[in-house]
Chains A and B, each alone.
Chain A
Amino acid sequence: MEINQIYVNLPVQDVQKTREFWTKLGFSVNEQFSDDNAICVIMKENHIYTMFLKEEYFKTFTNRPVAKGETTQTLLAIGVNSREEVDGMVKTAVENGGSTYSEPQDHGWMYQSAFSDLNGHQWEVMFADASQFPAE
């Protein structure tokens, strides 16, 4: 079984601020799926999207309360194309209201840094360097 696309749905307090944040990080928005209640950020066209839903709206899709940011149910790791893109994204995130919660790690074949976004969702940004992948 293989899927053809994924939508990661996350609750946010302010859709407009969330839109500004992710736009500044350099991502495009799928306007067809965006409105006052939700914004759809295109992470990889036709394949990977993140939907940020206003908390009240998010709540209509689950029978449990929305997490208040005191716990972590998910960590999202996303791959980009260079170390520079990793560092650039984390820097831009911090400049725009995000924060870091760990130091960058360089494993040679994988470089990784992380930020916590405006809404406290944690993103691990990585660059996997296939040319340095350790031989088995």
Chain B
Amino acid sequence: MKINQIYVNLPVKDVQKTKEFWTKVGFSINEQITDEKAVCVMMNDNIQIMFLQEDYFQTFSERPVPKGDTTQVLVAIGLDSREEVDQVVNTAVANGAYQHEEPQDHGWMYQNSFWDINGHGWNVIFADPSQPRSSE
């Protein structure tokens, strides 16, 4: 079994601010499925993140939206270089996110992270294909 695409759906308080945030970080918006209740951020052709206004998000789940005091998901996204990783995190932080941890360089993998303006956690990684992988 394999899937052909994924949409990660996350609740937000303010769709417009969220749209501005992710645009500044450098991603494109899929306007076809974006409106005042939801913004679709295209991470690549097969991977999209839907940020839904909390009231709207609520209609898709029987459980309440968390108040930002717990974590159910952390999303890790891969970029093409260390520079891109730092650029994304630095731009995010400059626009209201905060750095979650110090960057970690494992040689084959470089990792940095931020928590976005809605409190969702993002690990940003560069996997270096020229370096041997280790599980460390």
> Which residues in A have some Cβ–Cβ distance to B below 8 Å?
1-11, 25-27, 32-33, 35, 42-45, 47-48, 51, 58, 61-81, 85, 89, 101, 121-122, 124, 128
Q: Is A33 a contact of B135 with CB atoms below 8 Å?
A: yes
User: Nearest-CB distance from A23 to chain B (Å)?
Assistant: 10
Q: Given contacts A8-B6, A69-B63, A71-B65, list 13 more A-B pairs with CB under 8 A.
A: A3-B43, A3-B44, A3-B47, A6-B75, A7-B123, A8-B73, A9-B73, A32-B133, A44-B3, A64-B68, A71-B66, A73-B11, A79-B5
CA A35 to CA B73, docked complex, whole Å = 19
The answer to whether A73 and B5 touch (CB under 8 A), given A5-B78, A6-B78, A64-B70, is: no
Nearest B residue (CB) for A92: B1
Task: Tell me the number of A-to-B contacts counted with CB atoms below 8 Å.
Answer: 167
Residues of B within 8 Å of A, CB-based: how many?
Answer: 52
Q: Do residues B1 and A27 form an inter-chain contact, with CB atoms below 8 A? A: yes
In chain B, residues 25-79, which have Cβ atoms closer than 8 Å to a Cβ of chain A? Answer: 25-28, 42-44, 46-47, 50, 57, 60-79
Chain B residues with CB below 8 A from A67, complex form: 66, 70-72
CB distance from A8 to the nearest CB of B (A): 6
Chain B residues with CB under 8 Å of chain A are: 1-11, 25-28, 42-44, 46-47, 50, 57, 60-80, 84, 88, 100, 120-121, 123, 127, 133, 135
